Amino acid sequence: MQRHTPVPVPEPSGVPVDAVRPGEWVTVDGVAYRCVVLCFLFRPGGRGGASRDVLLGLKRTGFGSGRVVALGGKIDGRESAVDAAVREVAEESGIELAPGDVGEAGRITWSFPARPAWNMLAFLFTAEAGTSAPVASEEIEPRWYPVDALPWHAMWQDAPHWVPSVLEGRRIAASIVMDADNEGVAGAVVR
C-alpha cells in the first residue's frame, strides 16, 4: 500500500476571476490556470427508473482521451464563459442552447504539480436539454446516463469528489490537487 503525504489544497473560495470574460489563462497566487468550461446537460429520466439523465461523453481526442467526461473545453480569446459553454455543447453534441438556457453551477481548479501546463480553472454550468438527441463529434461520443448510475470507473478519479454535488443541483467551489501520476487525487476541497 502506497502512503501519501497530505498535500496542501488551495482554498476554492478566493479565486478572483472575471466570470464574464475570464480570458484563456488566469494567474491565481502566482499559479497559471487555463480557463475552461464544463456543462452538464439533463433530461427527464429514461430507463431504469432514474428521475433524470445526464449527458456525458467518451473523449475521443485530446486531453482526457479515453475517459467519460462532461461536455466542455477551452475558453477562446475573450468569449464569455457562458458563450464558451454554449459553443462547446453545440460542437461536441450538436445540441443548440441559448445563453439564457445555461445556469451557473460553480467553479473548480485542478492543479497538476507534475504537469503544471495542465492546470485548469473550470466554470461549471448546467442546462436542461429536454428531448434533444446528441450527435457524436470528432472529439466526443455523447451518451445519456441515469444520474444514479454513472460510469465512475471510466471517469477521472477526482469526479466522485465533486460531480455528485453538481448532479444534486448544488453550486460548488472546489480545488483538486492531482497526484504525481496525474491520475489520482492528492487532495480535494469541495464547498
pLDDT band of residue 11 (cuts 50, 70, 90) is very low
Task: Answer yes or no: is 65 within a domain.
Answer: yes
Look over the chain and give the mean of its residue pLDDT values, rounded to a whole number.
Answer: 89
CA–CA separation, 169 vs 71, rounded Å? Answer: 17
Task: Answer yes or no: is 5 within a domain.
Answer: no
**Residue 35: strand, helix, or coil:** strand
Share of the chain above pLDDT 70, in %: 87
Supply the CATH number for residue 89's domain: 3.90.79.10
Indicate the number of domains in the chain: 1
pLDDT tens digits for 21-71? 778 898 888 889 999 999 999 999 866 556 899 999 999 999 999 999 999
Give yes or no for residue 10 having a pLDDT over 70.
Answer: no
Task: Answer yes or no: is 3 within a domain.
Answer: no
Share of the chain above pLDDT 90, in %: 78
CA–CA separation, 5 vs 162, rounded Å? Answer: 22
pLDDT tens digits for 137-146? 999 999 999 9
Task: Answer yes or no: is 13 within a domain.
Answer: no
Task: Answer yes or no: is 147 within a domain.
Answer: yes
Backbone region of residue 50 per phi and psi (left: phi > 0; alpha: psi in -120 to 50; beta: other values): beta
Q: What is the pLDDT of residue 27?
A: 86
Segments forming the whole domain that contains residue 57: 22-190
Task: Answer yes or no: is 14 within a domain.
Answer: no
The position carrying cell 492543479 is: 111
Please name every residue paired with 57 in a beta bridge, in sequence order, or none if there are none.
Answer: 69, 142
Task: Answer yes or no: is 120 within a domain.
Answer: yes
Give yes or no for residue 5 having a pLDDT over 50.
Answer: no
Task: Answer yes or no: is 45 within a domain.
Answer: yes
Whether the Cβ atoms of residue 123 and residue 36 lie closer than 8 Å to each other: yes
